[in-house]
Amino acid sequence: MKKLFAAAVGAVVITSGAFAANGQQVFMSKGCGACHQASVDTVGPALKKIAKTYKGKKADLIKFLKGQGKPHVDPAKFAIMRPQLNTTKGLPKDQLEALADFILSH
């Protein structure tokens, strides 16, 4: 039983890592890195700041990326992000999940 549990936990960890890696591909291909850096606020907030704000709130982050949620990070800069949501809100569910996992991994 312990071996089965350990294998299941390992599979979840590996799957989460894979989603984050796929999320990085989505992040890069959609041009998110033009405004968001890992640790430094630039045009947009740093990924670390976003991850800290949405820690434990992945569903809220996905809702925001779909254009259905209010901004929680730097709301004053939302006018810059609003047009970019056209890029993310049409993503398939698996890509949104992967993108959120990548952001939250920071």
Domain boundaries, the chain: 2-104
Question: In degrees rounded to 5, what are phi and psi of residue 36?
Answer: -120, 120
| Res 17: pLDDT | 52
Show Cβ contacts of residue 41 under 8 Å, excluding neighbours closer than 6 positions: 49, 74
Closest among 92, 91, 76, 6 to 41, alpha carbons compared: 76
- Reported in sequence order, the residue ranges of the chain that DSSP labels E, i.e. its strands, are none
Q: How far is the C-alpha of 46 from the C-alpha of 33, rounded, in Å?
A: 10
In whole angstroms, what is the distance from residue 18 CA to residue 26 CA? 12
The pLDDT score that the predictor gives to residue 4 is 42
Average pLDDT over residues 44-59: 98
Q: What is the pLDDT of residues 5-37, one digit of tens each?
A: 444 444 444 444 565 669 999 999 999 999 999
Q: Which two tokens stand for residue 49?
A: 């700041």
For residues 28 and 63, give the distance between their C-alpha atoms in angstroms, rounded to a whole number: 20
CATH of the domain spanning 2-104, picked from 3.40.640.10, 1.10.760.10, 3.40.50.620, 1.10.357.10: 1.10.760.10
State pLDDT tens for residues 56-93: 999 999 999 999 999 999 999 899 999 999 999 999 99
